[in-house]
Amino acid sequence: TEPTDLALATAHKGFEWVEVETQGRAAHGSRPEDGRDAIMRMGRVLTRLEAVDVDLRRQEPHPLLGTGSLHASTIAGGRELSVYPDSCQMRFERRTLTGEPTDVGLTAVQGALDALSVDDPEFEGWARPLFSRSPYEAPRDDPVRLALAQVLRSRGLPPEPVGMSFWTDAAILGRAGIPSVIFGPRGAGLHSREEYVDIESVLLCRDALVQLARTYC
């Protein structure tokens, strides 16, 4: 389980990681005519991809998951202060929705690189996929989904389905044909220094899952 605030989560986002590298030409900082700044070139990529993210946020949201998103996660480049950097690497994450192509992030990044190459024939850059996990949405007639909704209703908890912005193993289980939903206690601080759950809600979650097991099995 994951912290869902005692809500019945029937869907979650997926993600795709993409690495981009821009090429420059190393030269001493006093010789700008000889150097090509790979980090500056990556700045152009960032500008393009920021526009992609803005456009994603403006699209019609999924009823449970909202919209997709794209953000820059890490960047590395350069060797010395007085040297033009000959390469710059950046890694992006694209949060994905059900129904989107599995390589939608790579497509967006490659599109930005292609457009920059048209604008500047000297621009050099490439992209490659690193890792991805698919989004998930349980079918409306999923037996576990229906059974847990009934359990929550009997306990005065909201049975309406919600979506999670993070990824879970439910996507793997669902793909294997195993009925799956996400249900967990109240909590906060995901991946922070202080990650926690509310003890009382853990007990409520336990009791609901016991009732679900007795009902479903």
List pLDDT tens digits, range 74-86.
999 999 999 999 9
Residue 38, token pair as written in the block: 């790979």
Q: What tens digit of pLDDT does each residue of 117-171 get?
A: 999 999 999 999 999 999 999 999 999 999 999 999 999 999 999 999 999 999 9
Which domains does the chain possess?
13-133 (3.30.70.360), 136-216 (1.10.150.900)
**Structure confidence at residue 195 (pLDDT):** 85
Does the structure show a pLDDT above 80 at 189?
no
How far is residue 146's CA from residue 153's CA, in Å, rounded to a whole number? 11
Q: Where does the pLDDT of residue 100 fall: very low under 50, low under 70, confident under 90, or very high at 90 and above? A: very high
Q: Percent of the chain scored above 90 by pLDDT?
A: 92
DSSP lists the bridge partners of residue 12 as: 136, 164
Q: Percent of the chain scored above 70 by pLDDT?
A: 100
How far is residue 179's CA from residue 143's CA, in Å, rounded to a whole number? 7
Locate tokens 């890694």: which residue? 91
Question: Which pTM was predicted?
Answer: 0.90
- SS3 category, 135: coil
Does the structure show a pLDDT above 70 at 1?
no
What are the φ and ψ backbone dihedral angles of 214, each rounded to 5 degrees?
A: -65, -35
Does the structure show a pLDDT above 90 at 68?
yes
How far is residue 94's CA from residue 130's CA, in Å, rounded to a whole number? 12
Q: 85 with 26: CB under 8 angstroms?
A: yes
